[in-house]
Amino acid sequence: MIKVEDLQLMAALAQSSSLSEAARSLNLTPSALSMRLRSLETSLGVALATRTARRLSLTADGEALAQEAQGLLGRIEQLPEMFQRNEQRLSGSLKIAAPFGYGRQCIAPLLVRFARLHPELKLQLDLRETPWPDRHDADIVVHIGSVRDSSWVARTIADNERWVCASPAYIKKNGMPQTPRDLLQHACICIRENDEDVSLWHFRREKADAEIRFGARESLRIHPALLTNDGGTARYWAEQGLGLVLRSQWDVEAAVGQGKLIRVLAAWQFDPAPLMIMVPSRKGLPARVRAAMDFLAAELSA
């Protein structure tokens, strides 16, 4: 008979790259975990994993059992919620994945309030460079940007415009760009993230004039003077006068308000990076996931 401990073992192996990592997650020694794995394989009569000194990988049977184990453990964890008369009293664990910068600045403070509202809930915030598609075992993924070919359900919270900005010192020294094509004569800072073509900027005119038709979408190939994989670094470089940067409104709005940055080319709209909350399914969500999703949606949209 397969026990809950066996399900937990397979779930841990599926989420770990080595036997030692899986053992740590279960608070076991590697030798004890290896013994439990051999015992389970013997009882089932199949090999569930192949392991070397440095690497562990599941067999086809192991992957199938791990997938079932994760689903069963999730349903077991949801059982208490079926008997909770007051959905405001939430329990269990909740894992949220979000981008580094946005997660630190916006999601982490909100989870302080959510944790105080639901003290019996075990919260985990997993900050990642690419929370989607590297969702792992997250219950909710906070994603910035468009999503293609997603099997999850995405809920758009805000359009999140992207602004081209530069410091007052840079503009004073190099002049104010009048059209996007002028950017080719300026130092530009690009952010490498989500495997996107970061040097191809798309834009359209927001207001028509005698020469430019409203809404005509164009593209511009930027030749980066500086390149980084961290948005906060790119914004800091722009504040220090090193060039122009294309960043999400949420990231630069405060700096613009403080006078550290100036928004340029405001008559053009650059492709937005919508803020989304993503969940695995529309139906059958645990109460804690629905509550967290509604809380984040209400707070972030405001």
- Predicted local confidence at residue 131, as pLDDT: 75
Confidence class for position 245, pLDDT limits 50, 70, 90: very high
- Domain membership of residue 186 (yes or no) is yes
- Domain membership of residue 8 (yes or no) is yes
Q: Are residues 44 and 175 in the same domain?
A: no
CATH number reported for the structural domain that contains residue 115 in this entry: 3.40.190.10
Q: Are residues 153 and 282 in the same domain?
A: yes
Give the domain-ending residue among 82, 114, 145: 82
Helix ranges restricted to H, the chain: 4-14, 19-25, 30-44, 60-82, 100-102, 108-117, 168-174, 231-239, 249-257, 287-301
Q: Are residues 284 and 151 in the same domain?
A: yes
Q: Are residues 190 and 225 in the same domain?
A: yes
The domain in which residue 175 lies consists of 162-270
Q: 3-class DSSP state for residue 142?
A: strand
Of 64 and 169, the one with more pLDDT: 169
Of 68 and 176, the one with more pLDDT: 176
pTM of the model: 0.61
Q: Are residues 114 and 252 in the same domain?
A: no
For the stretch 36-40, contacts whose Cβ atoms lie closer than 8 Å and that sit 24 or more positions apart, written own/partner, are 36/5, 36/6, 36/9, 37/9, 37/13, 40/2, 40/6, 40/9, 40/10
Average pLDDT of every residue of the chain: 83
Q: Are residues 229 and 279 in the same domain?
A: no
pLDDT at 228 over 50: yes
Q: Are residues 140 and 112 in the same domain?
A: yes
CATH number reported for the structural domain that contains residue 12 in this entry: 1.10.10.10
- Domain membership of residue 139 (yes or no) is yes
- Domain membership of residue 87 (yes or no) is no
Beta bridge partners of 98: 127
Q: What is the pLDDT of residues 128-166, one digit of tens each?
A: 877 777 666 788 999 888 776 667 888 888 888 889 999
Q: Are residues 172 and 250 in the same domain?
A: yes
Q: Are residues 70 and 116 in the same domain?
A: no
Give the domain-ending residue among 82, 105, 123: 82
Q: Are residues 171 and 230 in the same domain?
A: yes
Q: How many domains does the chain have?
A: 3
Most confident residue range from 106-120, 213-227, 265-279:
106-120
Q: Are residues 32 and 124 in the same domain?
A: no
- Predicted local confidence at residue 210, as pLDDT: 46
pLDDT at 297 over 70: yes
- Predicted local confidence at residue 184, as pLDDT: 92
- Domain membership of residue 48 (yes or no) is yes
Amino acid found at 252:
V
Give the domain-ending residue among 30, 60, 82: 82
Confidence class for position 206, pLDDT limits 50, 70, 90: low
- Predicted local confidence at residue 38, as pLDDT: 87
- Predicted local confidence at residue 53, as pLDDT: 55
Choice among 34-38, 206-210, 293-297 with the minimum mean pLDDT: 206-210
Q: How far apart are CA 133 and CA 131, in angstroms?
A: 6
Note the Cα 153 to chain centre separation in Å: 14
Q: What is the pLDDT of residues 37-65, one digit of tens each?
A: 888 888 888 888 887 656 778 888 888 88
- Predicted local confidence at residue 81, as pLDDT: 58
Q: Are residues 291 and 225 in the same domain?
A: no
CATH number reported for the structural domain that contains residue 204 in this entry: 3.40.190.290
- Domain membership of residue 213 (yes or no) is yes
- Domain membership of residue 179 (yes or no) is yes
